[in-house]
Amino acid sequence: ARDRLQDIVATEHAHPHSVGIIDETSFVKQGKKTPGVQRQYLGTVGKKQNGIVTVHLAYAADDFHCLLDGELFLPESWAADPARCQEAKIPAEMTYRPKTEIALELYDRARANGIHFAWLTFDEWYGGKPAFLQALDQRPQPFVAEVPRTLMGWIDPPRVTRRPLRRGRGRGRKVPRIVASNRPSQPVEHLLWWHPALKEQEWQRWRVKDGEKGPMIWEVKHVPFYLQGPDGLPGPRWHLVIARNVLDPTEMKFFVSNASPDTSVGTILLAAFSRWRVERCFEDGKGEVGLDHYEGRRYPGLKRHLILSAISYLFLAKTNQRLREKKIRVDRYPGAYSRLG
């Protein structure tokens, strides 16, 4: 049923500017029997509480959006208790995995079922994991990731040497490393305030989208960026985009993207500000199709519930689109005409 859902989206809703969104949602639960339940941070309530977390992949194209897939995040405490997992009918091969690995599985499955994503985007929790970003880049999948202000990297790429590193006697190890005379990596927020390429750059205003309360105007700075990978070395040339809310300058967002060097800032901004679509999927899914109404104690039932909820949402999204006399483009590309001052 899940594969059929994705086949429908791939064939009937393909779009050259489609955006995939990775995000998670949570459900408050009582007791200890619901698969994956424990006291953990739940974004739904904004604090630690007893409940479960599921990771999801959504799809957005023009005025259409839906959920494609979802999977339970199994905490380590559950994975370390085989008897508890067996009682909840959790498959023996299913064990604890970071949420980023679950997200990659959802993405790979959707791609295998014919889904094309012009872009992939996600929040700073996922964007703050360099190994996850590199895994997407290697697939290769264009993405725009919101990242924490502590993400490390360079604007000026450091030199890397493969000369043997000698420590004591014997032959040195041929380990790639940064030449000692180069500047160390810096957090992106530090680069904003202290690197000349950003410090001396004027903020450019962009009308990124039209919200319910009027146009959303953000000021933007943009430079090349080299991510510090898990090995400590610089990655390929990416984009660093820093956006500041004109109405509230204390609200700032940092984005990195592996888009080609000639990609416009407006194109990057459209993907960057598309995450609201998955939040709408969660809100409508819980309010209209009972996404958060699962009360069972077995994993197969939870899995079926996530799939049937996604199918129900797809039906409503398609029906809503069909019954409207005129399509409404919810997001337009911020282009040169949208640039202000």
Length reported for the chain: 341
CB 256 within 8 A of CB 265: no
In the chain, what are the helix, strand and coil shares in percent, each to the nearest 5?
30, 30, 40
Task: Note the pLDDT of residue 63.
Answer: 87
48 pLDDT band, cuts 50/70/90, is very high
DSSP 108-124: HHHHHTT---SEEEE-H
Task: Note the pLDDT of residue 211.
Answer: 67
Residues 32-36, mean pLDDT to the nearest whole number? 93
Instruction: Name the CA radius of gyration of the chain, rounded.
Output: 22
Task: Note the pLDDT of residue 67.
Answer: 97
Q: What is the pLDDT of residues 208-227, one digit of tens each?
A: 877 666 788 999 999 999 99
CB 221 within 8 A of CB 198: yes
178 pLDDT band, cuts 50/70/90, is confident
187 pLDDT band, cuts 50/70/90, is very high
Residues 110-136, mean pLDDT to the nearest whole number? 96
Q: What is the pLDDT of residues 64-82, one digit of tens each?
A: 999 999 999 999 999 999 9
Task: Judge whether residue 311 has pLDDT over 70.
Answer: yes
Among residues 255, 273, 308, the alpha carbon closest in space to that of 133 is found at 255
278 pLDDT band, cuts 50/70/90, is very high
Task: Judge whether residue 341 has pLDDT over 90.
Answer: no
